[in-house]
Every structure is written in structure tokens, then in C-alpha cells.
Structure 1
């Protein structure tokens, strides 16, 4: 059973199963501040758990909960509250904390979509030179779940390609694919958060170089 209709939900269609609840409905804008938007997701989750106690819950959270600069944001506080609720009210769950998703369509404000749009439309933008980001192909999330959602133990998995991309690495790959130069200024700011990746993620991406992974993303989604 899939709950939701966005990028994640649509990408999970071919692994849908009556044995699992893929809860992919939620607040897509990490800058959202309206309580009503977060309450809507929370209430839907509670009802879903109540009515499907015999199924394993797969919930999609965010690696942003590790970002110290966002600890007081509505979005992160909401995700942490939902995670706690699941841990206290479900006997069979898997929480995936997702990095910056790259896929077909989806939120235009995701990092990859934003940079692609700025470059292809010749818009001026600002780059924080110390910023690093973790990327994940939506297709890889689906493939990873196909293998790992049957894991018997309850838990949380940090899910992203285990490499911290410099923003200029991502920009360079997009520039190469589009044959367009980005118009941007640089600011000596930015940070990133360290994430511990488990053996399941490291094994899943074993043998793939950061350069090859980024090139694959640009070939698929530009």
C-alpha cells in the first residue's frame, strides 16, 4: 500500500505490496511553517497506523535532522516528532532518512532541480563554498527498498550515496551535460553535517565512484 502521490510515491509503484505501507505523503517544502500542513501529515500517519497494524510501515524522513543549523526548523522538528511517534506506536517499521533526492519531476526546489533550472535559464545564483550535500537517485531508493524493506528489525537507515558533494562539483556536472555555464557568485559560507552510513548502504553502493554517480544523475535527469 502506498500513501501519497508525489515523486517518491509514484516511483514505488512497481514494488507496491499489501504487506507494507509505504508512507510517502507529507510536507514536501522544508521551509513550510504552517502548522496545519504538518498536522495533516501527522493525523494521516496516525490513522494509517491504527487501521493497518498488521503491515510493516516504511516511513520517509530526512537526513536534515542531522543538520545542526536546522534543529529549530518546523520541518525538522516535525520529522523528529513523527519518527518518535512511529517508534513508540508501531511494532514493525523502517524509517529511511533520505538525502537530496534526484528524480524525474518532483519538487522544483530540491537542490538538483534548483541548480539545473538556474543554469539552463541563465539565472544568477549564489554558491556557499563550504557547503556539501548528499545526493540519492530516486531509483536507488526503490532498488534499496526492494532488497531491504524485508529486514525484520525495527530501525532507522541513513539513505544517500555516501559522498559529500561540493556544490561546485554538482554545478560542473550540470554545466558539462547542458553545455551551459552557471552564472553565480561565491560566498565564503556554508557547512555540512556528518552522517553515519550502515553496512547495507555502503554495500549497496560499493564499487561506484562519486564522479560516476554524479555523471549518471546528470545523464538520467537532464
Structure 2
């Protein structure tokens, strides 16, 4: 059973199961401040858990929970509240805290989509030299779950390719794929946050180097 209709929900269709509750509906804008949007997701989750007590729930949270600069944001506080609610009200759950998703479509403001659009349209943008990001191919979410979900109970995992890409690395592969030059102003700003990855995550991505993983993302989605 899949709840949601966005990028993550669509990617799970090939592993949908009567024994699972994939909760992939949520507030997509991390800058959202309207209480009604967060309440809508929370109420949907509560009803889903109440009506599917026998199912294992898989919830998709965010790695931003580890970002100290966002601890007071409505989005992160909301995600923490939902995680805690699931832990206290489900007997069998798996929470995946997802990094920066790369896929076809989805939120145009995600890092990869934003950079692709700016470079494609010859727009100048500001590059934060100190920023680093954790990326993940949308297809790897369902692949990982197909291999590991049934073996995990009551776990919370950080999920992304376990390498911190600086923005120049990402821009370089997009430039190559588009055969276009990026125009940007460099500023000494930006940051990143360290997260720990479970051995299952490291094993899942072990056969692909960081450089090759980024090339694969560019080949698939540009």
C-alpha cells in the first residue's frame, strides 16, 4: 500500500505490497510555514496507522534533521514529531532519512534540478564554495527497500550515497552532460552537516565510486 503521489511514491510502485504501508505523502517544500499543511500530513499519517495496524510502515523523512542550522524550522520540527509518533504508535516501522533526491521531475527547487535549469538557461547564480551535499538516485530508494526492508524492524536510517559532493563537482558533470558552461559568482559561504551511515547503506553503495555515481546521475537525468 502506497500513500502519496509524488516522486518517491511513483518510484515504489514496483515493490508495492499488501504487507507494507509506504507513507510517501508529505510537505514537499522545506520552507513551508503554514500549519495547515503540516496538520494535513499528520492527520493522514494517523489515519493510515490506525487503519493498517497489521502492516509494516516505511516513512520517508529527511537528512535535514541533522542540520543544526535548521533545528528551529517548521519543516524539521514537523519531521521529528512524525518520526516520534511512528516510534510510539507502530510495532514495526522503518524510517529512512533521505538526502538530496535526483530523479525525473519532482521538486524543481531540489539542488540538481536547480543547477540543471540555471545552466541550461545560461542564468548566472551564486555558488557557495563551502557547501557540500549528499545525493541519492530516486531509483536506489526502491532498490534498497526491496533488498533490506523485510530484514529491518524499528530502525531509523540515514539514506544517501555516503559521499559529500561539493557544488563544483556537481556543476562539472552537469556542464559536461549539457555541453554548456555554468555562469556563477563564488562566495565563501555554505556549510554541511556530518551524518553516520549504517553498514547496510555502505554495503549497498560499495560497488560504485563517488565519481561514477555522480556520472550515472547525470547520464540518467540530464
Same fold at TM > 0.5: yes
1:17 counterpart residue number: 17
- TM-superposed deviation, 1:124: 1.2
2:176 counterpart residue number: 176
- TM-superposed deviation, 1:178: 0.3
User: Normalization by structure 2: what TM-score?
Assistant: 0.99
- TM-superposed deviation, 1:152: 4.0
User: Normalization by structure 1: what TM-score?
Assistant: 0.99
- In 2, the alpha carbon distance for the partners of 1:87 and 1:132 equals 30
1:69 counterpart residue number: 69
Number of aligned residues: 222
Task: Map 1:26-41; keep pairs closer than 5 Å.
Answer: 26-41=26-41
Q: Tell whether 2:22 aligns with 1:7.
A: no
1:142 counterpart residue number: 142
Unaligned residue ranges in structure 2 (runs of 5+): none
Q: Tell whether 2:69 aligns with 1:97.
A: no
Find the residue that maps to 1:180 and give its secondary structure. coil
Q: Tell whether 2:217 aligns with 1:220.
A: no
Find the residue that maps to 1:101 and give its secondary structure. strand
Task: Map 1:50-199; keep pairs closer than 5 Å.
Answer: 50-199=50-199
Cα deviation, 1:95-137, whole Å, max 9, x if unaligned, reads: 0000000011101011100000010011111111000000000
- In 1, the alpha carbon distance for the partners of 2:63 and 2:161 equals 12
Find the residue that maps to 1:54 and give its secondary structure. coil
- In 1, the alpha carbon distance for the partners of 2:41 and 2:51 equals 15
- In 1, the alpha carbon distance for the partners of 2:147 and 2:10 equals 18
Find the residue that maps to 1:32 and give its secondary structure. coil
Cα deviation, 1:17-58, whole Å, max 9, x if unaligned, reads: 000000000000111111100000000000000010000000
- In 2, the alpha carbon distance for the partners of 1:151 and 1:35 equals 36
Unaligned residue ranges in structure 1 (runs of 5+): none
RMSD: 0.6
